[in-house]
Amino acid sequence: MIKKVIINENQRGFLFKNGKYVKMLCPGKYYTNGTKEIEISNLDMPVDPHRCSVDTLLTDKAVADSVCLVDVGDEQVALHFVNGKFKSALTHGKYMFWSVQDKHEYKMIDISITEADESVPEYIFSMIPSTLYVKIEVEEYHKALLYFNQRFVKVLDAGTYFYWRNSVKISVKHIDTRLTQMDITGQEILTQDKVSLRINMICNYRVTDYVKIFTEIDDFTEQLHIMAQLALREYVGKHKLDDILEKKDEMSEFVFNKLKAKESELFVNIANADVKDIILPGEIRAIMNTVLIAEKRAQANVITRREEVASTRSLLNTAKLMDENSTLYKLKELEYVERICENIGNINLNGNTDVLSQLTGILRGGA
C-alpha cells in the first residue's frame, strides 16, 4: 500500500528501508510502501530518532553537516544557548540539534567543583531545574556557616550563593548577628529566710565568634540560660526577702557580672541582664499588703495631726494679734458681720450697745 508523506520546510525526514537507515530527506512530497518508512524530525526539536541511534545518523554526511552534537560527561552540565539565548541545561548524555536554521552554543560546567563560579550568571539558576543546584540565602543581619560533608568550610556574609549538587552534602547553620534577647522565666528560688520567690529575668547578648560557638559549645543558648539561673540562685540564696525587694538593681548587677565573666567561654558579648519581675507567694503578698495599708494609714494620721496643730497655732496667733490691736479686732468683727449678712435677709440693730454684742445676742436668741 502506497502512502504519501509531506515534509515541511521546518522539518527533515529519515528514510528507512526494511528497517535500515537509507538517507536524510529534505522538504517535499514522498511516497512509501510496505518496505519503506519515513521518520520526521522538527528542526526546533532535538534529533532523537526512534529507528536507529544518533551515531548511525552521523555516518550520513548530509546529516552530520546539518546538526551539532554535544556529549555531556557524568560530572558536567552543558548550558545550551540557541541564537544567543539560554535554552536549557543538559546533563550527562549525548544531544544532537539541527543547525539548519538556528545557531547552537554550549557552555560546559564542571559540577565536580561544588561552588558555582561567577562565570555562570545568577539569572541562569532561575531557569534550570533546582535539582541541579543548592541555593543559600543569607540575610543582612545573619552569618551562615557552610559545611561540606559535615566539615566546616567558611563563614558566608549576607548575600545569595549557589552550589552544584554532586557527591558533596551541603549544609548551613545560620546565626543572628543582631542583639538577641533571652527570657529567663519562672525561676523558683528560696531566699535565705526560706521564702519561695519566682523571678523573671531578661538577658541581651550578641554572638562574637560565629565558628567556635557551634564547634566548641553544645547549644550555647541553653548554656547561657543555665549560667543565668545559677547566678540568680546564688544571689537569692544568700539574701533575705526584704533585702532582695529593696535591692533589685543589686541582684541584676550581680547576675550581669557573673555572665560577663563567662563571655570568653560562651563566645558572646553580654549587653545587659535585668530582673524583670519578682513574684511573691500568695500568703506573703497578703501579709505585705496588710503592712502597706497600715503604713499608709499611719502616714495619713500623722499628716492629719500635723494639719490640726498648724490650724490651732494659726488661731492662737490670730487671737493674740486681735487682743493686742483693737483696730484688727474691729476689722475681724466686720468680716464676721459680712459673712452673717450673706445668709440673713434683715437684721434690726439699736444704738444701746456695740454691733458685735447685738449680733451675738440675736444669734443666741435665734438658737
User: Domain limits of the chain?
Assistant: 3-110, 180-280, 336-367
What are 101's three cell numbers? 536554521
Q: How far apart are CA 196 and CA 279, in angstroms?
A: 9
Q: What is the pLDDT of residue 186?
A: 75
pLDDT the model gives residue 170: 95
The whole-number pLDDT of residue 109 equals 94
> Residue 255: how many CB atoms within 10 A of its CB?
25
Contact 101, 43 (CB under 8 A): yes
Predicted confidence at residue 312, as pLDDT, reads: 81
| Domain 180-280: assigned CATH number | 3.30.479.30
Question: pTM for the full model?
Answer: 0.67
CA 143, CA 168: separation in Å to the nearest integer?
22
Residue 367 has pLDDT above 90, yes or no: no
Q: Within 10 A of 164 (CB to CB), how many other CB atoms are there?
A: 20
Residue 29: CB atoms within 10 Å: 8
282-321 pLDDT, tens digit per residue, is 666 666 667 666 776 777 778 878 887 887 887 777 777 7
The amino acid at 252: S
Tens digits of residue pLDDT in 108-125: 999 999 999 888 999 999
